[in-house]
Structure 1
């Protein structure tokens, strides 16, 4: 998990580098993979920092980052490109994946399993030793420029039997698992990102961890670090803590009246009364 900072880190990084608090060896693994152009698969729950991690690594490596959000209607043409009518002429327009291949950029396909499996097959020749992208409609094969790297992410706990990565796709990647940070680190992150004091951030983190640890939880998702930051930002904007939590956490996690009521009782038990 990471926070933005302009102060130098322990390794003497540039003051313009974002600060990243590593939970394990993810920075080293990603850096080594980037040196060889090896594709990376990021696994972890929603809101744990996968996207921010990629943004930080792209910044540190000095690479352009092109991000694509996966969805069920995504086609291969959305990634690769298509012919469009412009000014009375039919012209080819590169898709984001093709732009990244040409520019030697990092292409980040977020929540890739949301796309159809016949769409994700287009990345296979880019994710192995060939490092090439067939442009069938142009009758050519595009070879990846130096610096190109493919990064994909997904949330393993959110997938169904119908939405998972094919083995033929997974085995082309090295995997990095990210998770929510420890309490102290998450408190620092929430305080910094939301612009609130440490005590308030610690209260939010305590609530978030209590929700994550609920036994037999009916929730489809738990309270993410992103969610806690949003609640904190409402506090920074002048809302009282409980109102901010109700709007940014409780009401977001469920539409079921009974579940919302139960979460409200948990908030009452966990948050300090002021």
Structure 2
């Protein structure tokens, strides 16, 4: 028997069967179109995922911002390092404005901002992500009535956490209270800053490694090591960062900040700031009160409509006793106020 690649039958002068070669060409064309469609859908899916992250996950930046010459100088210094892609580590006492300036600098870079808050219990998973759940699906094949075929499919869903999102999409990471996390949890940052690669230890194959986006930036904030609950980060990581020590702002800047946040005039804000600064001088470094204390007191005073010295001192007493260790310590703090 002789096999012909095509029948000679024709209809209205045209061959009604394709040749094998023609059929192959058509199939190859359809495969290319399908591959292109899958690639397009994959890109669309990634863009939709990114859009969802940016609208639901990212932390909004506060609008209140006061900029004096000293603040601008510090802000520009931080930005100069970040432009060169160096991670910046802001170190300073509680309430001196580390977080506020970190968020403002991140905002001015024009990229979305992801937030991470360090504490004793944080792990590497909290930074990079992990498998949130395992989906189980079962297929029952009953094509032949007396033959049963069961097939269980396990699918684990990976969820990205702040560091992975920032590295993958080029966001700005603000890692607040960085030194309150145990050093082991932050080891994953070493390859990010030295090789530009984020390793996801629990992933497999190509998905195990994420190339760091060129727009990725990182800002860290920490209290000095003498504060309670602080862990000294590993030297290998500190060597890859730029450390900038922040102290409390000058009087005029503090007055402007308190006035703006509490909605007060400079005269009322000055009366609060002056007392805050005097109390600050009398307390140990780890217990000093910051600009935040002045804002808290000013808001209550505005609500009560009272700005006399005794009212300010009474409210400051509530603020400075929040870290009281015992009765003796409490009495010492009250004496500090009375002596001013």
Moved more, 219-228 or 46-55: 219-228
Q: In structure 1, what is the equivalent of residue 160 of structure 2?
A: 94
Structure with greater proportional helix content: 2
**Within 5 Å, which residues of 2 pair with 1:6-45?**
18-23=65-70, 25-45=73-93
Distance in 1 of aligned mates of 2:177 and 2:253: 25
Deviation digits for residues 233-270 of structure 1, max 9, x if unmatched?
Answer: 111222643443233x2332425333333433443454
Aligned partners of 2:223 and 2:230 also within 8 Å: no
Who is 2:193 aligned against? 127
Q: For residues 86 and 237 of structure 1, do their structure 2 counterparts lie closer, same or farther at Cα, with a shift above 3 Å needed?
A: farther
Task: State how many pairs are aligned.
Answer: 252
Q: 1:196·1:235 contact (CA, 8 Å) conserved in 2?
A: no
* Unaligned runs of at least 5 residues, structure 1: 6-17
| CA shift in 2, pair 1:219/1:162, >3 Å | closer
Indicate the SS of the match to 2:90. strand
Rounded Cα–Cα distance in structure 2 between residues aligned with 1:203 and 1:144: 49
> 1:45, 1:157 within 8 Å by CA — same for their partners in 2?
no
Larger Rg: 2
Q: Distance in 2 between matches of 1:4 and 1:138?
A: 38
- TM-score, scaled relative to structure 2: 0.67
Are 1:245 and 2:316 an aligned pair?
Answer: yes
TM-score (norm 1): 0.82
Q: How does 1:222-233 map to 2 (within 5 A)?
A: 222-233=288-299
Cα deviation per residue 1:184-223 (whole Å; 9 max; x = unaligned)?
A: 1111111111112322321221222122211xx4674211
Task: Report matched runs for 1:108-257 at 5 Å.
Answer: 108-128=174-194, 130-139=195-204, 140-159=208-227, 163-214=231-282, 217=283, 220-238=286-304, 240=306, 241-242=311-312, 243-247=314-318, 249-257=319-327
Change (3 A) 1:69 1:161: closer
Unaligned 5+ runs, structure 2: 1-61, 137-154
Superposed CA RMSD in Å reads 2.5
